[in-house]
Amino acid sequence: MSVSQRVALPLLPTGVPGLDAVLGGGLPEFSFNLLSGTPGAGKTTLAHQIMFANAAPARPAVYFTVMGEPPIKMLRYQQQMAFFDPAKVGESVHFVDLTSVAITQGLNAVLEQIIQQVEALNPSIVVVDSFQAITRTVVAAETSGIDLQTFTQRLAVNLTVWQATTFLVGEYLIDNVQNNPVLTVADGIIALFQSTDRNSVVRKMQVVKSRGQAQMPGLHTFRISEAGLQVYPRMSIVVDKMERTRPLQRGSTGVEGLDALVGGGIPVGDAVLVSGPSGAGKSVLSAQFIAAGAQSGEPGVIAVFEEHPKEFLRRADSLGINLTAMEQAGLLKIIYIRPLDLSPDETLAAIRTAVQEIDAKRVVIDSLTGFELALAPTFRIDFRESLYRLVGALTGTGITVLMTMEITQSSTDLTLSPYVISFLTDNIILLRYVEIAGQFKKSLVVVKMRNSNHSNDLMLYEITPHGMIVRESLDAYDAGGVDTAKLREASRRPTYPGLTADETKLLQALIELREAPAELLARRAGLPVGPQLTAALDRLVSLAYAARLDDATHTYRPVAQLLG
């Protein structure tokens, strides 16, 4: 049958964020569905949420309770949910209890009552809760007058013909439904679980069956809050997006001297891993990356896992990076995800929401180490796979992702990360400590950078009051081990008699830049602009290390013999 000849299957929205995507667009109208799960899994809440989302005076919803949770308790608890609208009760949402009918007259009478109410109210949504209790009644009663299969069949036929989308709520376990007539009749089965791992409990759901729909396979995590259920569809990577030819545009890292090392900037739409030991400056680099994006009109999102956002903002501010202003200008969103038992999909949902809100082009995950710790144990086992899907889902939409990862620096090997995750990214920058002349210095190396003629040099860098600045190469040093280096005698730096440490820094910056205004020199040297800078520059000029080219612009250059 051609597509145009097929009967249309209109889809109802569930009113549950994320669930429509899992179902393949929504619930097929007039379908006969089973909501199954263990006690406390959220079946009743899910049924109520769907019911309140769809009920309207012209096509109301009817909630039949049969020997399950007492209605007075159900109403007491369900009205705590934000979706529960008391104004709809009795108008477009009707509650009917048939427990007495089931007890005194049997299932046949229950069926007749349901049909009678449906014919009278003309509902679009019908819920029968608990259908499992009905099953037990059939088994227990010798004279129920009707078997379960007949009951289910007649119920399905009548409710479908009356154009109602039906939900049977029951404590079925998927393993036990193989020979259950309800399973045969049901068009859709949504199973809810509570997955326990040590002290952690994670809610998961599975669309076991959905006739006529291309549902998302697998288990999807969900949470129940005051707002009701929120489903986090298991991330999948859209292949055509992943396989697309990615543009070779580049975005600045925001770190002076680093763009040149990575071949002109980070390829847009790529993921880059910044790996390094504690205190190496990974978060600083992250902040500069986001600030550089904001300056070029690319909003960014920072997902913070290790520290409170306020601390992140404060530290960035101390480096002259005003993330707060960017946040206020709508160029930045900082998300702090620290609930118990986090799932990767929940993280992605939060990041995606933030990305959509400000049309972000850059995302920072700081750090993968903190992210892993926040995950429920059950997800830590599949951390690599989760990360793969998370990174793929973000870069698949053209977002440039920078992830930081803390590593323990060893004297005997060069570790990029405690996990084998280098396959996740085409771009890795490794930060390391190196011991030089009795001091710990910071160095970095670009391990790999997609389609880039990147530097292989180990470079010294500093965290200055202006942020991270890449200094000179370590090529003048002999390695004495992975994290030690000795300056070769022949390459020993010249000394500049009479200069203080800050003045020497300024002179070195001037030699590197060859010609620069005072402000740029200050940034390069990592010194604050002010009277001290002016005094230092004046001294360089007075000692004939530098020449002032233009008093108006305060441009300097080193004297000729220093450059030779």
Partner 1 sequence: MVSIANGEADSQQPMPALSEQLARRLLPPAAGETPSTDALALAAAGAYTRLRARLAVFLGEQGFDALWRRAIRLSQQGPLEAGDTARAEASPTLPPGLHGALRGSNAAEAHTRLVAAFASFIGLLFTFIGEELGMRLIAQAWPELTSGAADPQVEGAPL
Q: Which residues bind partner 1 (CB under 8 A)?
A: 65, 70-73, 75-76, 79, 86-87, 89-90, 94-100, 103
From the CB of 62, what's the least distance to partner 1, in Å?
10
Q: Whole-number minimum distance, CB 76 to partner 1, in Å?
A: 5
Q: Tell me how far, at minimum, the Cβ of 167 lies from partner 1, in Å.
A: 17
For residue 468, what are its two tokens? 């991270």
> 95 vs 336, which CB is nearer to partner 1?
95
Q: Which of 205, 218, 233, 215 is nearest to 35 (CA)?
A: 205
DSSP code of 256?
B
CB neighbour class for 71 (10 Å; exposed up to 12, middle 13-18, buried from 19): middle
Dihedral angle sign, alpha carbons of residues 349, 354, 357, 359: negative
Least distance to partner 1 from the beta carbon of 141, Å? 17
Write out the H or E segment, with its range, that includes residue 228: strand 228-232
Q: Between residues 95 and 383, which has the closer beta carbon with respect to partner 1?
A: 95
Cβ distance to partner 1 smaller for residue 19 or 67: 67
* Least distance between partner 1 and beta carbon 115 (Å): 16
Is 137 in contact with 5 (CB distance < 8 Å)? no
Q: At its nearest, how many Å lie between partner 1 and the CB of residue 85?
A: 10
* Other CB atoms within 10 Å distance of the CB of residue 7: 6
Query: Which residue, 82 or 161, is less far from partner 1 as judged by CB?
Result: 82
Contact 386, 347 (CB under 8 A): no
- Whichever of 69 and 197 has its CB closer to partner 1, that residue is 69
Output 79 or 328, the one with its CB closest to partner 1. Answer: 79
Compute the least distance from the CB of residue 416 to partner 1, in Å.
Answer: 58
Q: Return d(Cα 210, Cα 34) in angstroms, integer.
A: 10
| 94 or 250: CB nearest partner 1 | 94
Q: What residue ranges in 425-554 does DSSP mark as E strands?
A: 427-436, 439-448, 459-464, 467-473, 477-481, 484-487, 516-517, 546-550
Please, what is the minimum distance in Å from the beta carbon of residue 162 to partner 1? Answer: 19
Residue 25 burial class via C-beta count within 10 angstroms: exposed 0-12, middle 13-18, buried 19 and up: middle
Distance CA 355, CA 300 (A): 8
Q: Which residues pair with 220 in a beta bridge?
A: 205
145 class by beta-carbon count within 10 Å (0-12 exposed, 13-18 middle, 19+ buried): middle
CA distance 62 to 59: 10
State which residue, 69 or 435, has the beta carbon closest to partner 1. 69
Phi first, then psi, for residue 48 (nearest 5°) are: -65, -40
The CB-of-98 to partner 1 minimum distance in angstroms stands at 8
What is the chain's percent helix, strand, coil content, to nearest 5? 35, 25, 35
d(CA 174, CA 157) in angstroms, rounded, equals 24
Residue 468: CB minimum distance to partner 1, A: 57
Q: Which is nearer to partner 1, 89 or 549 (CB)?
A: 89
Our CB check for partner 1 shows the closer of 91 and 147 to be 91
CB of 172 to partner 1, least distance (A): 23
Which C-beta is closer to partner 1: that of 100 or that of 184?
100
- In the complex with partner 1, the residue whose CB is nearer, 6 or 73, is 73
CA distance 134 to 130: 7
Which amino acid would we find at residue 474?
Answer: L
CA-CA distance, 164 to 33, in Å (whole number)? 11
Query: What's the min distance (Å) between Cβ of 103 and partner 1?
Result: 8
User: Starting at the edge strand that comes first in sequence, how are the strands of the sheet with 228-232 ordered?
Assistant: 93-97, 61-65, 125-129, 165-170, 32-37, 188-197, 200-210, 220-225, 228-232
